[in-house]
């Protein structure tokens, strides 16, 4: 059993992280994507209130907390990737992780460079603004 966990945990971690990063980056109150599994409103009642999906805040519900929903969605994505990794041969998954160690940070750097260029280049529109509905006029 520990061998299965040792094979599945890296895949779970990668799946969790690869889902959480864009979910956090692209979710806004008017986003075209519905990334959180649920929205939590802590100011409603004694224990708060859960609503499925992305729900914007209002005067009656108060401010929304999407973080718990992102975590829930990321756990599901991580479990799916971990399950897929267990279906693949062990030798193939070892090659995937040795490649991902180099590819994932390079892609993350390119994403962050594009995302933060508006601080340095006036009028810069990140590619991600088009994904979240902010770039299309």
pLDDT digits (tens, 9 = 90+) for 50-76: 888 878 777 888 888 888 888 999 999
pTM of the model: 0.71
How far is the C-alpha of 41 from the C-alpha of 56, rounded, in Å?
10
- How many alpha carbons lie under 13 Å from residue 122 in its C-beta half-sphere? 0
The total number of residues shown for the chain amounts to: 137
Give the model's confidence band at 30: pLDDT under 50 very low, under 70 low, under 90 confident, else very high.
low
SS3 5: helix
The pLDDT tens digits for 85-114 are 899 888 877 777 777 767 777 877 887 788
Contact 37, 22 (CB under 8 A): no
Tokens describing residue 55: 């729900």
């Amino acid at each position: 059993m520990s061998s299965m966990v040792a094979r599945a945990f890296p895949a779970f971690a990668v799946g969790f992280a690869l889902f959480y990063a864009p979910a956090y980056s692209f979710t806004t109150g008017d986003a075209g994507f519905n990334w959180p599994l649920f929205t939590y409103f802590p100011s409603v009642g004694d224990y708060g209130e859960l609503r499925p999906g992305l729900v914007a805040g209002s005067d009656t519900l108060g401010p929304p907390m999407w973080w718990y929903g992102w975590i829930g969605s990321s756990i599901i994505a991580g479990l799916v990737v971990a399950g897929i990794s267990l279906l693949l041969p062990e030798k193939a998954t070892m090659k995937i992780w040795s490649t991902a160690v180099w590819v994932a940070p390079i892609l993350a750097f390119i994403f962050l460079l594009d995302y933060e260029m508006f601080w340095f280049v006036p009028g810069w529109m990140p590619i991600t603004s088009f994904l979240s509905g902010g770039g299309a006029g």
